[in-house]
Amino acid sequence: MAKITASAYTSHVPAIGAAMDHGKTGEPYWQNVFTGYEYSRQWLKDNPPDVIFLVFNDHATAFSLDFIPTFAIGTGPEYAPADEGWGPRPVPMVQGHPLLAAHIAQSVIQDDFDLTIVNRMDVDHGLTVPLSLMCGQPDAWPCPVIPFAVNVVQYPVPSGRRCFELGRAIRRAVESFDDDLNVQIWGTGGMSHQLQGPRAGLINSEWDNQFLDRLIHEPADLADMHHMEYVREAGAEGIELVMWLVARGAMSDAAGGDAPEVKHRFYHVPASNTAVGHLILEEPL
Ligand code: DHB
Ligand code: FE
């Protein structure tokens, strides 16, 4: 049987990808961000997953106002890094896991979540920057990735509660797959940031750290937070944090088991226009 062994959470700031792609990670400004991921890169090498289920959002790159899926699962064999206006990032192709992805689609849709099936899509910084942060600059990503896109760009967005419940359904789906696969689930995006309008540049460190505390200790309560609170307190783009609740809902304590172990926690301001937050939670043995 496949099982979820850990969850990881990280911001996905595009400038972080650019800093890596252009060899600037050693500069003082960026050093402060990347030291927070040194532990994580070693941890990922020591705890190699067979598959990463990566919850992210597309930023009007693969999708547009033409069609806006609330939840979309990548069931394709591979995904190319997207051209977001300055050429595709020089990072490896992302290999998919069509068999597990199709199984999860079947199980989660029969579990009453409406997913859009995506067989072909280019993946933007929402997906590639978390991979870069966690894996560095390898010739190939360490394992197949199932991209799972959540609409947090165009209103209406899904509630935190629905994202958390979706995570629980994803856990049930993974645990009903016959092959012995070690699956990690990553929640990405956030933390507080607002990219446009009069409040552009908004950062709320106190709120972000409270979010991290609550994500660890009381995720079911946190899931009840109204979407307007994210926007008011964490900025218009702070709503990306609902994606962290998908990953958190897939941990064993959300299914009546023991709480996960906090392996790593990191928070830093600023990186470009945003706060960077990062957590690694391991399932109890
Ligand atoms: C920026 C873009 C993002 O999608 C994000 O999540 C954080 C920051 C940016 O353009 O700086
Ligand atoms: Fe984003």
Taking residues 36-42, what's their average pLDDT? 98
Q: What is the pLDDT of residue 25?
A: 96
Model pLDDT for residues 185-197, shown as the tens digit of each residue: 999 999 999 999 9
Nearest CA to 230 among 221, 239, 218, 220? 239
Concatenated DSSP letters for 41-60? HHHHHHS--SEEEEEE---S
The pLDDT value recorded for residue 190 is 95
Distance from Cα 263 to the centre of ligand 2, integer Å: 25
**Span 234-258, average pLDDT:** 98
Confidence of residue 97 (pLDDT cuts 50, 70, 90): very high
Provide the pLDDT for residue 60.
Answer: 96
Mean pLDDT of 224-229: 98
pLDDT digits (tens, 9 = 90+) for 103-147: 999 999 999 999 999 999 999 999 999 999 999 999 999 999 999
274-282 and 3-10 beta bridge pairing: antiparallel
> Does pTM surpass 0.75?
yes
Q: Which residues pair with 6 in a beta bridge?
A: 184, 282
Q: Is the pLDDT of residue 160 over 90?
A: yes
200-221 mean pLDDT = 98
Q: Half-sphere exposure (CA, 13 Å, Cβ side) for 28?
A: 0
> Looking at 59, 97, 103, 125, which residue is catalytic?
125
- On the question of pLDDT at 72 being above 90, the answer is yes
CA of 258 to the centre of ligand 2 (A): 31
Instruction: Specify the ligand 1 atom closest to the Cα of 273.
Output: 11
Running DSSP on this structure, what letter comes out for residue 85? S
Say if CB 120 and CB 113 are below 8 A apart: no
Enter the DSSP assignment of 123: B
Residues 37 and 134 sit within 8 Å (Cβ to Cβ): yes
Atom of ligand 1 nearest to the CA of 15: 11
264 assigned to active site = no
Q: Report, in angstroms and rounded to the nearest whole number, the Rg of the chain calculated over CA atoms.
A: 17
- CA-closest residue to ligand 1 atom 1: 13
Domains of the chain: 3-282 (3.40.830.10)
Measured by CA distance, the residue closest to atom 2 of ligand 1 is: 13
Q: How far is CA 62 from CA 77, 81, 86, 284, in A?
A: 16, 10, 15, 37
Token pair 């446009």 in the structure block, residue: 196
**Separation of 38 CA from ligand 2 center, angstroms?**
22
| Nearest residue by C-alpha to atom 5 in ligand 1 | 13
Q: How far apart are CA 235 and CA 191, in angstroms?
A: 9
Q: In which band, very low, low, confident or very high, does the pLDDT at 232 lie, cut at 50, 70 and 90? A: very high
Give the per-residue pLDDT at 285: 80
Are 47 and 135 contacting, i.e. CB atoms less than 8 angstroms apart?
A: no
Cis peptide bond N-terminal to 191, omega within 30: yes
* Cα–ligand 2 centroid distance for 230 (angstroms): 14
Q: Is 97 a catalytic residue?
A: no
**Atom 8 of ligand 1, nearest CA residue:** 13
What pLDDT sits at residue 174?
98
Q: Which residues line ligand 1 (CB under 6 A)?
A: 12-15, 59, 189, 193, 195, 237, 240, 272-274
- The DSSP secondary-structure symbol of 265 reads E
**Contact status, residue 267 vs residue 276, Cβ threshold 8 Å:** yes
* Rounded distance between C-alpha atoms, residue 193 and residue 191, angstroms: 6
